[in-house]
Amino acid sequence: MSKLNEQANGVYIISATPFTDHGELDLASADSLIDFYLEKGVSGITILGMMGEAHKLTEEEALSFMQRVLARVNGQVPVVVGVSHASHRHVERLAKTAMDNGAAGVMLAPGPNLATDPQVENYYLSVAQLLGNEVPICLQDFPQSTRVHTSVPVMLRLIEALPQIVMLKHEDLPGMRKLSQLRSQSEALGLRRISVLVGNGGLFLPQELARGADGAMTGFAWPEMLVQVCQAYAEGNPGHGEDIFDCYLPLLRHEFQYGIGLGLRKEALRRRGAIKSAAVRQPGPVLDRIDLQELSGLMARLERKLADKGLN
Amino acid sequence: MSKLNEQANGVYIISATPFTDHGELDLASADSLIDFYLEKGVSGITILGMMGEAHKLTEEEALSFMQRVLARVNGQVPVVVGVSHASHRHVERLAKTAMDNGAAGVMLAPGPNLATDPQVENYYLSVAQLLGNEVPICLQDFPQSTRVHTSVPVMLRLIEALPQIVMLKHEDLPGMRKLSQLRSQSEALGLRRISVLVGNGGLFLPQELARGADGAMTGFAWPEMLVQVCQAYAEGNPGHGEDIFDCYLPLLRHEFQYGIGLGLRKEALRRRGAIKSAAVRQPGPVLDRIDLQELSGLMARLERKLADKGLN
Amino acid sequence: MSKLNEQANGVYIISATPFTDHGELDLASADSLIDFYLEKGVSGITILGMMGEAHKLTEEEALSFMQRVLARVNGQVPVVVGVSHASHRHVERLAKTAMDNGAAGVMLAPGPNLATDPQVENYYLSVAQLLGNEVPICLQDFPQSTRVHTSVPVMLRLIEALPQIVMLKHEDLPGMRKLSQLRSQSEALGLRRISVLVGNGGLFLPQELARGADGAMTGFAWPEMLVQVCQAYAEGNPGHGEDIFDCYLPLLRHEFQYGIGLGLRKEALRRRGAIKSAAVRQPGPVLDRIDLQELSGLMARLERKLADKGLN
Amino acid sequence: MSKLNEQANGVYIISATPFTDHGELDLASADSLIDFYLEKGVSGITILGMMGEAHKLTEEEALSFMQRVLARVNGQVPVVVGVSHASHRHVERLAKTAMDNGAAGVMLAPGPNLATDPQVENYYLSVAQLLGNEVPICLQDFPQSTRVHTSVPVMLRLIEALPQIVMLKHEDLPGMRKLSQLRSQSEALGLRRISVLVGNGGLFLPQELARGADGAMTGFAWPEMLVQVCQAYAEGNPGHGEDIFDCYLPLLRHEFQYGIGLGLRKEALRRRGAIKSAAVRQPGPVLDRIDLQELSGLMARLERKLADKGLN
C-alpha cells in the first residue's frame, strides 16, 4: 500500500460511519458505502473523522470499522484515518494501529485548549516526534469545531520542520485568504508544496481550487459533484466546474448546517442506496417530517436541474 | 409615522453605514444608499445593527446617521434602529432617542454573558420594563455573534409577557427547526403571531419562508432578489422564488463569510452605485486583488445567469 | 455495597489517576493513594473524573483502574465513577460496568454543545431513561470545563422527574448564589433534598457549607483539611472550620489553577507519599524548577502555620 | 505631568466608577474614592477599565469622570486611562483626549476576535502607529475577559518594535509561568525591561512578585494590603509580605468572583467610607441579604486577624 504524499489531489471523501436503526455498527453498510464512494470516482477515503462520529465509537468498534473499510477498499485508493485523541500516547497507538492495518496516512486535529501560536506548534511537534517520520500526517485545520486556530506562520514552520506533514485539510471559515497566503508564502520561502484539500462541505470549492487547493476532503452526499468540479479545474475548465457546482449548491448549503447536517447527509446517502439506515448515534440529529420533505424538495430540484443541463 | 407591528413582512434591509475612504461618516452616501434600497422595493430598513458597524461609531455619529436616514426615508417605509448596549440605561436612552426621531421600532440583542434560559428571559423583561409598552421591539436571536442562546420556550414566554415584542430577527444557525417550533408551539398555545424575519444573509430564505417566516432582515447587496423571493412565496409561487434564489446563491454564499463578508458587501454596493466608498472602519476587512477579482467573477456569472433566464 | 443516596455528605475525594514516570498506569500507586485517602478520613471516593485524566485513558486502562480501586476500597466507603461520554450508549455501557463492579453510583456531566435549558434537561432525561432507576446519578455542574450551563429551574425539574439523581457536584463559578437558590427553591417546592457536594478545589467551601452544601467533592491534596472543615460545620462550629480552612487557603488557591493545578496536585500527593510519580499524561503540565520551589515554599509555610496553631 | 514609564511599580489601583443609588454618575464619590486610594498609599490610579464599568458609560460620562479624577489627583500620582474600543479611530480619539487632559498613559486590551499570534501582533502595531510614540501604552493581557491570548513571543516582538509600550497588565490565568518566561526571555534577548503589574485581584501577588512582577494593578477594596505586600517584597522581606497577604486572602478570594465580585468590591468600598453607594449599573450584580452577611462575616474575621497580628 503506498503512503499518502504531497501529490494527493482530487476528492478524499470523508466517510460516514453507518449504524443500524438501533445504533449498532453496520458493517454490511460499510461495504456498500465504500463501493458507492469508489463508483463515484473518489481519489481517497478518510474515515473516523468528526463526521464519522469517531468520538461515539468504542475503540473496538473503531478498529473493526477501520479493518472492514481497508479490506473493502483493498488498495484501490489511499485511506486516511483520523487519530485525534486527548492523549499523545493514544494518538501514537491509534496511528500505529492504522498504519499496521494498511492506512495510507493519518489525520490529526490539534488538541483542545491551545490558545497561541507556540502552543499549537508545540502540539504538533510533540506528536510528530512520537509518530516518527514514517507516518504521513494530514493536518486538520477546523477551528469552528476544535476552537484552535492554526496561523499561516505556524503551518509554514511545521511544513519546514516535519517532512511527514504532507497534507492540510483546510477548513477554517472564512479561510480563502488563508489558503492564498499559505500558497504564496510557502512558495516565497521555497518550502515543500503540500497537498491542500478543502472541507466545510465544499461550500467554497470553486474559489478554493482557483486559489491553489488540490481538491476536497469532505463528506457531501453527492461525491460525483466534487469529483467533476475538481476534474474540470484540473483540466483548465473552471467555468464548467462552477456550472456543475452551482447546480448542487442549494443542497450543499443545506447539508452545511452543523449538527443536523450529519442527519441530512446520512439520509441522502440512504436514499441513494449507499447505506441501509440514516441513524446517527444519540445524542444526535433525528430528522422530522418537515426535514424529510424539505430534503425531498431539494433533491427533486437537483434532478430537474441536472436534466435541464444534460448533466445527469 | 406608524409603528412597527406583528404584520411586518417582506424585506427589512439591514443598512450598511457608509464611510469615506478615510473612514469619516459619509452622509451623502447614506442618502444614495437609502435611495438604492427603496428603489429595490424593500418594505423596511434597519440601521445601526452589527453589520452597520454601530459599535465603531461615536454616539454623535450614530445620531447623525440615524437622523439623516430618517429624513431621507421620510416615512416611506418603517425604520428599525439597533439599540443594543451593555447598559440598560443606555438601551433606554438610545431607544428614546430613536423613537423621538421617528423610528418605527428598535432591535435588541441580548446582553453578553447570559448563559441560561432564566438569565435571557430576565434580560428582556428588565429592559422592556424600562422601555415601556410604547416602544416596539424586534428581538435579535443571533447566537453566532452574541454567544447567547434564546430557547423557544423563552421566546414564547416573552411574547406572552411583553406586547411590545412584535418581531423576531431569526438568525440562529442551524435554525430552521427552531423556526418551525416557534410557529407551531406559539399556535398551540394560542399566542400572538409575531413577525419573523430571517437573517444569516438569507442563506436559507426559501426554506425559512416555507417554514413560516414572513420575510428577511438582512443586508445582501442585491436586495431585489430578497424582495422577489419573498413576493413569490407570498403569491404562492415558491418554485419561482427558489429559481430566483438559486441564481444568486453563489454570491449570497460568498457574502456569507463572517468578517470579510462585510467588505465584500460594501464593495458590491459600491459597484452597484449605492455608496461612494467600500471602506470598512478599522480593524476590519480590506479586500485584496484576488478578493476583488473573485467578486468580479461571481458578479459576471450572476449577470449571465439572469440574462439566460430573462430575469434581469 | 450500598448505593449512593441523598444523605451523602462529608468529603468525596476526587481521586487522581497515578502513572509511572513513563506514563503507564501505576496500579501499585492506586493502592497507596486509596489508602492515603481513607486514612485522611474521606467519606467517599470519586474516580475517573476530569481530574482523573479519564479522557486520556484507554477503555481497558479505565476498567483496570476502576477494578483496582474498588478492590482496595473494599466497601469501606462508596465509590462514584465518572461515566461522561459523547455517546448515550457508551454512558449506558460505562455505567453498567461501573455498577456491576461495585460502584455506589455514577457521575455525569452534560454532553457538549447544549446551549439552552430544554437542551440540557433533555440530555439528562434521555440518558437517565437509558440508565434506569437503579443507577444513582451525581450531576456534575461544571460549566468552566463543559461550557454547558445548568440553570436552577432545570435542576429542580430533574430532581422532580428523576429519583435516581441523588447528588449534585456543584462547581459553577461564581456559584454561591446558585447554591442558595437551589436549596431555597427546592424547599419551597417541597422537593426531595439531594446531596450537594462542592468542587472548584474547595475554594469557597466554608461559604458553601453555610449556604447549604453537605460537603466537598474535590481533589485537594490535603483531604484532611476538607474533612476537618466539613466536620466543624457539621458540629456547629463554623468559626473553627474557617480557621482551619484559612491556613490551607494559600495552597488551595495555588492548586486552583486550571491546567498546571493538576501537576501541582500530583506533585503534592507524591511528596506526601501517596503516589510514586507526579507524572501527568501528555499533553499536560510538567513542573519546572521554579514551580517546584514555589510549591515547597507554600508547603513550608503551611507546616509552620499548622504548628503555630497546634493544628498539625 | 510626567508620563508613564518602564520604572513604574507598586500599586496602580484600578478605580471603581461610583454611581448614585439611581445609577447616575456620582462625582462627589469620585473625589472621596480618589482620596481613599491616595491615603492608602497607591503609586498610581487606573480608570475606565473593565472594573470601572467603562462600557456602561456614555462618552460624556466617561470624559466627565476622567476630568474629575485627574483634577482630584492633581499630579500626585500617574493616572492611566483605559481606551479599549472596537474602532481604531476611537482608540486614537480616546487616547488623545486622555493625554490632553493630563493622563500619564493609556491601557489597551486587544480587540475582539483575534485568534492567532499574527492577528494580535498586528492589532497592536496598527493601533500604536495611530497613537504615535508619545502615548505610553500599558498592554492588558486578560484573556478570561477578552478571549484573546497574547503569547510571550508576541509580547517580546511588541516590546522590541514599540518603545511606547512601557507596561504590561499581566492578568492571564494561570499565568505565573508566562510571567517567568517573559522576564527570562526578554533578558536573554537583551530587550528593554518593561514594568509588569499583576491583576486578577492580586490572587497570586506574592508568587508573581517573586517571579519578577513590579507590583499590582487591580481593584481590591483593601489597597493598603497590596501596598504593604509590594513594599515588603521591594524591601527584601517576602515572608512578611506573604504573612500580610494571607490575612486578606479569604476576602481577596471572595472578591475574585467574576460578576458578583464587582458588587462585593463596591460594597466593601462603601462600608469603608470611600463611596456613598455600592450601586453597579444594570445589568449587574445586586447583593442580597445572604451576600451582605457573608461579606460582614469575612470582614469581621479580617479585623480580628489583623488585631491578633498587630497589623491593624
Q: What is the mean pLDDT of residues A195-203?
A: 97
Measured between alpha carbons, how far is B66 from D217 in angstroms, rounded to an integer?
40
Task: State the nearest Cα–Cα gap between D217 and chain C, in angstroms.
Answer: 19
C-alpha cell belonging to residue D83: 481606551
Contact C59 A58 (CB under 8 A): yes
Cβ within 8 Å, pair B116-C154: yes
Whether pLDDT at C112 is above 90: no
Residues of chain D with pLDDT under 50: none
Q: Nearest chain B residue to A144 by CA: give it.
A: B144
Phi and psi torsions of D102, nearest 5°: 105, 10
Q: What is the DSSP letter of C56?
A: G
pLDDT at A1: 60
Q: Does D294 touch chain C (CB under 8 A)?
A: yes
Chain D: partners with 3+ C-beta pairs within 8 Å: A, B, C
Q: Are strands D165-170 and D195-198 parallel, antiparallel or unpaired?
A: parallel
Measured between its terminal Cα atoms, the distance across chain C in Å is 34
Place of cell 466543624: C232
What does the alpha-carbon distance between residue B34 and residue B46 come to, in Å, rounded to a whole number? 11
Q: Is the ipTM of this complex over 0.90?
A: yes
Q: Please name the residue that has the C-alpha cell 453510583.
A: C105
Shortest Cα distance, chain D CAs vs residue B190, angstroms = 32
Question: Is C174 within 8 Å of D261 when comparing Cβ atoms?
Answer: yes
**Which stretches of chain B score pLDDT less than 50?**
none
D307 CB within 8 Å of a chain A CB: no
Roughly how many angstroms between the first and final C-alpha of chain A, as a whole number? 34
Chain A neighbours, 3+ Cβ pairs < 8 A: B, C, D
Would an 8 Å CB–CB cutoff place A157 in contact with chain D? Answer: no
Residue C151 at interface with chain B, using a CB cutoff of 8 Å: yes
* Interface with chain C: mutation pick from B113, B114, B117, B146, highest number of C CBs within 10 Å: B117
Instruction: Check pLDDT > 90 for residue A112.
Output: no
Q: Which of C174, C258, C260 is the closest to D257 by Cβ?
A: C174
Predicted local distance difference test score (pLDDT) of residue A169: 98
Nearest to C253 among D253, D257, D261 (CB): D253
- The answer to whether the CB atoms of D242 and C291 lie below 8 A apart is no
Report pLDDT digits (tens) over B154-164. 999 999 999 99
Distance from CA of B169 to the nearest CA of C (A): 18
Taking only the tens place, the pLDDT of each residue in C36-61 is: 999 999 999 999 998 999 999 999 99
Residues making up chain B, counted from first to last: 312
Q: Which residue has the cell 477498499?
A: A73
Mean pLDDT value of segment A52-64:
95
In angstroms, the CA D109 to CA D141 distance is 7
Helix (H, G, I), strand (E, B) or coil at A169: strand
Inter-chain contact D207–C294, Cβ cutoff 8 Å? yes
Grid cell digits, residue B125: 423583561
How far is it, in rounded angstroms, from Cα B286 to Cα B270? 14
DSSP β-ladder status, C44-47 and C79-82? parallel
* Burial of residue C103, with CB atoms counted within 10 A of its CB: 0-12 exposed, 13-18 middle, 19 or more buried: buried
Instruction: Name beta bridge partners: D19.
Output: D25
Burial code of B261-289, b = ≥16 C-beta within 10 A, e = fewer? bbbbbbbbbbeeebbbbbbbbbbbbebee
pLDDT digit string (tens) for D260-275?
999 999 999 999 999 9
CB contact under 8 A, A87 and C123: no
Cell 433534598 -> residue: C193
CA distances from A32 to A16, A68, A302, B303, D228 (A): 12, 11, 24, 42, 74
**Sequence-distant (≥ 6) Cβ neighbours of residue A16 within 8 angstroms:** A33, A51, A52, A53, A219, A262, A265, A266, A269, A275
The answer for residues whose C-beta is within 8 angstroms of residue C200's C-beta and 6 or more apart is: C171, C173, C175, C218, C256
Chain A contact for D117, CB < 8 A? Answer: yes
pLDDT at B310: 87
Q: Please name every residue paired with B138 in a beta bridge, in sequence order, or none if there are none.
A: B107, B167
What cell numbers appear for B185 in the block? 408551539
Q: Given this model, what pLDDT does residue C111 score? A: 87
Cell numbers for D126, please give them.
Answer: 496598527
Q: Residue A312 pLDDT more than 80?
A: no
Closest CA to A31 of A43, A21, A45: A45
Nearest to B58 among D90, D123, D282 (CB): D90
pLDDT of residue C50: 87
The predicted structure's pLDDT at residue D303 = 97
**Half-sphere exposure of residue A27: CA atoms within 13 angstroms, side-chain side:** 12
| Cα A94 to the center of its chain, rounded Å | 18
Average of per-residue pLDDT values in chain C: 97
Contacts of C290 in chain D (CB under 8 A): 177, 180, 211
Closest-CA residue to A102 (of A126, A124, A120, A81): A81
Asked if A283's CB is within 8 angstroms of C123's CB, the reply is: yes
User: Residue B50 has what pLDDT?
Assistant: 87
E strand residue ranges, chain C: 10-14, 44-47, 79-82, 105-108, 137-141, 165-170, 195-198, 215-216
Angstrom distances, CA of residue A172 to CA of A175, A200, A202, B211, B257: 5, 8, 12, 30, 11
Nearest to D52 by CA among D42, D65, D39: D65
% residues pLDDT > 90 (chain A):
96
- Rounded Cα–Cα distance for residues C1 and B309 (Å): 76
For residue B97, with 0-12 CB atoms within 10 Å meaning exposed, 13-18 middle and 19 or more buried, which class applies?
middle
D296 Cβ contact partners less than 8 Å away, ≥ 6 residues apart:
none
Confidence of residue A235 (pLDDT cuts 50, 70, 90): very high
Report phi then psi at A26, rounded to 5: -115, 95
Closest by CA position to A143, among listed D110, D114, B175: D114
Q: How big is the B-C interface in CB pairs under 8 Å?
A: 31
Among the listed residues C149, D89, A254, A119, the one whose alpha carbon sits nearest the alpha carbon of residue B148: C149
Separation CA D160–CA D164 (nearest Å): 10
Query: For the segment C123-170, what is each residue's pLDDT rounded down to a tens digit?
Result: 999 999 999 999 999 999 999 999 999 999 999 999 999 999 999 999
**Cβ within 8 Å, pair C211-D173:** no
Cα separation of D180 and D197, whole Å? Answer: 13
What are the helix (H) ranges across C54-134?
A: 59-73, 88-100, 117-131
Q: Is D111 on the interface with B (CB under 8 A)?
A: yes
Residue of chain B nearest D145, judged by CA positions: B113
Q: Which of residues 254-283 of B touch A (CB under 8 A)?
A: 254, 257-261
Nearest CB to C151: which of B117, B143, B150?
Answer: B117
Report whether pLDDT(A237) > 70.
yes
From C281's Cα to the closest Cα of chain A, the distance in A is: 7
D153/A119 touch (CB, cutoff 8 Å), yes or no: no
Q: C-chain residues within 8 Å CB-CB of D259?
A: 174
C10 Cα to chain A: minimum distance (Å): 32
pLDDT value at residue B285: 93
Beta bridge partners of C47: C81
Nearest by CB: D56 against B53, B86, B283: B86
A113 touches chain C (CB under 8 A): yes
Tell me whether C143 touches chain B (CB under 8 Å). Answer: yes
Interface of A with B in 188-207 (CB under 8 A): 203-204, 207
Of D55, D88, D283, the CB nearest to B88: D283
Cβ contact, residue pair A250, B249, below 8 Å: yes
Q: Is B180 touching A (CB cutoff 8 A)?
A: yes
Listing DSSP states for D163-216 in one string gives TTEEEEEE--SS-HHHHHHHHHHHHHTT----EEEE-GGGTTHHHHHHTT--EE
**B149 contacts C118? CB cut-off 8 A:** no
Q: Residue range A224-246: average pLDDT? A: 98
- Asked if C111's CB is within 8 angstroms of A283's CB, the reply is yes
Full DSSP string of A40-71: TT-SEEEESSTTTTGGGS-HHHHHHHHHHHHH
B187: how many CB neighbours lie within 10 A of its CB?
11
Contact A68, A107 (CB under 8 A): no
Rounded to an integer, the average pLDDT of A140-161 is: 97
C180 contacts on D by Cβ (under 8 Å): 290
d(Cα B49, Cα A195) in Å, to the nearest integer?
41
Query: CA D192, CA C252: separation in Å to the nearest integer?
Result: 35
Confidence (pLDDT) at A311: 81
pLDDT for D61-96, tens place per residue?
999 999 999 999 999 999 999 999 999 999 999 999
Listed as own residue / partner, the contacts of C34-41 with beta carbons closer than 8 Å and 24 or more positions apart are C34/C69, C34/C72, C34/C73, C35/C72, C36/C269, C36/C272, C36/C273, C36/C274, C37/C13, C37/C223, C37/C274, C38/C73, C38/C76, C38/C77, C40/C13, C40/C223, C40/C224, C40/C227, C41/C11, C41/C223, C41/C224, C41/C227
On whether any CB of chain D is under 8 Å from the CB of B87, the answer is yes
User: Is the Cβ of A149 closer than 8 Å to some Cβ of chain D?
Assistant: yes
